[in-house]
Amino acid sequence: MATRSKSSQRWLKEHFSDPFVKKAQSEGMRSRAAYKLEEVVARDRLLKPDMTVVDLGAAPGGWSQWVRQELDRIDARRPGRVIALDILEMPPLAGVEFLHGDFREDGVLSELVASLGGKPVDLVLSDMAPNKSGVDAVDMPRAMYLAELAMDFADHHLRVGGAFLIKLFQGVGFDDYVKELRRRYDKVVIRKPAASRKRSPEVYALAQGKRASIK
């Protein structure tokens, strides 16, 4: 049996002692990522009754699970829709529509658009990230490509006045991407939720008030 490296042992120790991991386990949440979303959404009051929410890069389902619970809590009579998509399989969640596929493929995007039935989206969430190689010169372009695809989806399917929340990694292309968001939305802020590990380069860009046209 192969022994674990010191770095993997350190990661496991950190993971299982993480208060947000413990909280997720005790509250029946699928992942600690739910608390990143909870902090941002609660602060900015993004959820409203009868919303259509699209969650890109949804597996294992922490964000979709939390949004579904919150929409039901806000107004169970007008629960809206939560549509989740990921290249990975995701166990079913009650009240969440899941599409399994690669968002980079046109056919998968077409399936997602068809599921909307011509109705605009109120909130686009993207927690997508590429598989890491550990080489920044490779990983950053891959991450930015996914971010560009998410922005393009929001450009075409998010309603005017809607909001877009996306995970970004600080590095080459980050500043230019945020500038593009500012051309499209009335308000753009960068958040680093408490549940996001300090050593991680990830941050979350929250863009609110989609404009009718790009500046």
Q: What is the pLDDT of residues 130-188, one digit of tens each?
A: 988 878 888 999 999 999 999 999 999 999 999 999 999 999 999 999 999 999 999 99
Domain ranges of the chain: 31-210
User: What local confidence, expressed as pLDDT, does residue 135 receive?
Assistant: 83
pLDDT number for residue 82: 98
User: Tokens representing 132?
Assistant: 């890491």
**Token reading at 3:** 């022994």
Q: Is 127 annotated as a binding residue?
A: yes
User: Is 86 labelled as part of a ligand binding site?
Assistant: yes
- Residue from 113, 119, 135, 141 nearest 56 by CA: 113
Which range of 44-48, 139-143, 176-180, 195-199 scores highest in mean pLDDT? It is 176-180
In this predicted structure, what is the pLDDT of residue 205? 97
User: How many C-beta atoms lie closer than 10 Å to residue 145's C-beta?
Assistant: 14
User: How many other CB atoms sit within 10 Å of the CB of residue 45?
Assistant: 7
31-210 placed in CATH 3.40.50.150: yes
pLDDT-based confidence at 76, cuts 50/70/90? very high
* Confidence category of residue 44, pLDDT binned at 50, 70, 90: confident
pLDDT in tens, 78-129: 999 999 999 999 999 999 999 999 999 999 999 999 999 999 999 999 999 9
DSSP the chain: -PPPPHHHHHHHHHHHH-HHHHHHHHHT-S-THHHHHHHHHHHHT---TT-EEEEET-TT-HHHHHHHHHHHHH-TTS--EEEEEESS-----TTEEEEES-TTSHHHHHHHHHHHTTPPEEEEEE---PPP-S-HHHHHHHHHHHHHHHHHHHHHHEEEEEEEEEEEESSTTHHHHHHHHHHHEEEEEEE--TTS-TT--EEEEEEEEE-SS--
Q: pLDDT band at residue 25, thresholds of 50, 70 and 90? A: low
pLDDT at 199: 73
pTM of the model: 0.87
Query: Tokens 């890491």, residue?
Result: 132
Chain-centroid distance of CA 71 in Å reads 17
Alpha carbons 134 and 206: distance in angstroms, whole number: 26
Residues identified as active-site: 167
Assess whether pLDDT exceeds 70 at residue 57: yes
> Given pLDDT bands bounded at 50, 70 and 90, which one contains residue 23?
low
Predicted local distance difference test score (pLDDT) of residue 93? 96
* Cβ neighbours around 212 below 10 Å, total: 6
Q: Which residue has the higher pLDDT, 18 or 180?
A: 180
